[in-house]
Amino acid sequence: MRIKYTISIVFFVALVIIEKENNIISRVSDKLTLKQTPQTPLQLSGFSHILLKHNGSSTSLSKMDPAFLQMKQRLENYSEHQEVMTRARKHILLLATTRTGSSFVGEFFNQQGDNMFYLFEPLWHVEKMLTLETGGTNATAAAKAYRDVLKQLFLCDFSLLESFLDPLPVDHITTALFRRESSSSLCEESVCSPFIKGVFERYHCRTRRCGPLNLTMASESCLQKEHRAIKSVRVRQLETLRPLVEDPRLDVKFIQLVRDPRAVLASRMVAFAAKYKNWKQWAMGGDVPIDDEEVRKLKGNCDNIRMSAEIGLRQPLWLRGRYMLVRYEDIARFPMRKATEMYRFTGIPFTPQVKSWILKNTQASKETSGVYSTQKNSSQQVEKWRFSLPFKIAQVVQKVCGPTLKLFGYKFVSSEEMLTDKSVSLIEDKVFNFL
Ligand SMILES: *[C@@H]1O[C@H](CO)[C@@H](O)[C@H](O)[C@H]1NC(C)=O
Ligand SMILES: *[C@@H]1O[C@H](CO)[C@@H](O)[C@H](O)[C@H]1NC(C)=O
Ligand SMILES: *[C@@H]1O[C@H](CO)[C@@H](O)[C@H](O)[C@H]1NC(C)=O
Ligand SMILES: *[C@@H]1O[C@H](CO)[C@@H](O)[C@H](O)[C@H]1NC(C)=O
Ligand SMILES: *[C@@H]1O[C@H](CO)[C@@H](O)[C@H](O)[C@H]1NC(C)=O
């Protein structure tokens, strides 16, 4: 009688334990099913000690109850999951337009270290080929090509990109990849085939000299890396990239980099003087024909940037947690702070390597000393364009890019005096991301 009583108490306790752990498991399962592609490592570490505790003391219990054995196995399975999840691969796409500081921001990821595979403007080849073949007029076809190439590259597959290289690679070997040396991943030892003196002199690949690029080697190296990042100034509409998000093999995060369109135009007029000669003429004298092709192009660019940002900021379900907007002006003024935010957004550790690169290449060290004048001075640097862009050109930009200026928090100028008044910043403080 007494023995029977004791046994039932033991059994009851065992049931309570099992019940408790089942609850934990089902809570974990809920989390797992809610987040189809887990973005943050789940805090499962607590389970390993539960497992250990039961491993020793409850052997007889597990023999007694097959359900317990099964539960134990499930727990073990989840701790294996944990490993996979903490190592979850991220795919970062840095979206920008020319003269917005995207090469600089790309370095934030290029400098990350051994676990990042970074590509600099791979779509350059796609745009070039499409422009040659079709005049580049079919935006739908271009968007599709960009999307498909990006998707493959995020999966370390270079085959589609290869078809856009000119000359076409032979045996996956190329000397034609645009700015290979801008990707430290493509200059690593494992991707650096022997350099033949006198034949490929131009292949100064960062710290070493490499022979032609073997894309099979690049692909193998890419597969070894934990994270992947691509910078591109060619994608027009964020929405065209939706299939990337929906691909279960990818965990894509978009960072859209924007800049005051007036500053961008001022910068382009210097950097691409030939292409912008009409603007230079208008700047020097005469009226700007508002229905000119160039002005329409400017408006088109502004609209694309704005529409992409509007979708991102609206946070539709497919983009939730996957979109971040960053202003060039904020990066220029607070590089370390913005880089930290960007890394937090991506879920990739912000390495000391990146930090020291930023320190070396900016005046970010002063940022932390809280010197107000530093910020003011940087603002002046960032707003230097105000002294090179004539007021009437600024007016044209404001006219065709008004909604874009407004969305990103760039103040309109109403007179020549205001444009060149150093005491008035045209950059409003603005917070865009609700993470
Ligand atoms: C659990 O016990 C089994 C057999 O008693 C042993 O082989 C195993 O290593 C133990 N596991 C842990 C995590 O202690
Ligand atoms: C644990 O994982 C193994 C292999 O992945 C699987 O065969 C088994 O059914 C899983 N067990 C439970 C209880 O989920
Ligand atoms: C543009 O490209 C799309 C997709 O490839 C195609 O369906 C369409 O016919 C093309 N339009 C023109 C005008 O060539
Ligand atoms: C390119 O690299 C792959 C993988 O390492 C290798 O098998 C192949 O032989 C290389 N191709 C050439 C032409 O060296
Ligand atoms: C701002 O910084 C530049 C160097 O970046 C320096 O030459 C200039 O004197 C500074 N201006 C002010 C007002 O501190």
Q: Using an 8 Å Cβ cutoff, are 426 and 411 in contact?
A: yes
Is there an atom of ligand 3 within 6 Å of 139 CB? no
The DSSP element (H or E) to which 311 belongs, if any, is helix 293-314
Closest ligand to residue 217's CA? 4
Sign of CA dihedral 337, 341, 342, 344: positive
> Which has the closest alpha carbon to 327: 412, 408, 390, 219?
408
The pLDDT of residue 144 is: 97
DSSP state at residue 274: T
Residues flanking ligand 2, CB < 6 Å: 70, 73-74, 77
Please give the pLDDT value at position 206: 74
Q: Are 290 and 297 in contact (CB under 8 A)?
A: no
Q: Is 132 in the pocket of ligand 3 (CB under 6 A)?
A: no
pLDDT of residue 38: 36
Question: How high is the pLDDT of residue 42?
Answer: 34
Ligand nearest to the CA of 63: 1
Q: Whose CA is nearest to atom 14 of ligand 2?
A: 74
Which domains, from first to last, does the chain contain?
Answer: 2-84 (no CATH), 87-420 (3.40.50.300)
Distance 141 CA to ligand 3 centre (A): 6
Nearest of 399, 248, 238, 385 to residue 325 by alpha carbon: 238
Residue of 190, 217, 220, 224 to mutate, ligand 4, most atoms within 8 A of C-beta = 217
- Spatial neighbors of 327 by CB under 8 A, at least 6 apart, are 257, 258, 259, 408, 409, 427, 430
**Two structure tokens written together for 374:** 């530093």
Place of tokens 């996979």: 84
* Residues within 6 Å of ligand 1 by CB: 52, 55
Which amino acid, one-letter code, is at 191?
Answer: V
Q: What is the pTM of this model?
A: 0.75
Give the C-alpha separation, 210 to 202, whole Å.
9
The torsion angles phi and psi of 239, rounded to 5 degrees, stand at: -60, -30
Token couple for 184:
């430290």
**What is the DSSP-derived secondary structure letter of residue 239?**
G
C-alpha closest to that of 251 among 109, 127, 346, 144: 346
Residue whose CB lies within 8 A of the most ligand 2 atoms, among 77, 78, 84, for a mutation test:
77
Q: What is d(CA 192, CA 170) in angstroms, rounded to the nearest whole number? A: 17
Pocket test for ligand 2, best of 73, 78, 81 (most atoms within 8 A of CB): 73
pLDDT value, residue 187: 93
221 lines ligand 4 (CB under 6 A): no
- Residue 70: predicted pLDDT: 79
What is the 368 CA–ligand 2 centroid distance (Å)?
51
Q: For residue range 246-303, list pLDDT tens digits in order.
A: 999 999 999 999 999 999 999 999 999 999 999 999 998 888 888 899 999 999 999 9
Give the residues of the chain that fall short of pLDDT 50: 10-62, 85-86, 368-375, 435
CA distance 353 to 410: 33
Cβ proximity of 18 and 67 under 8 Å: yes
Contact 42/82 with Cβ under 8 angstroms?
Answer: yes
d(CA 94, CA 324): 10
Radius of gyration of the chain (CA): 27
Burial (Cβ within 10 Å: 0-12, 13-18, ≥19) of residue 155: middle
CA angle, residues 323, 325, 328, in degrees to nearest 5 = 150
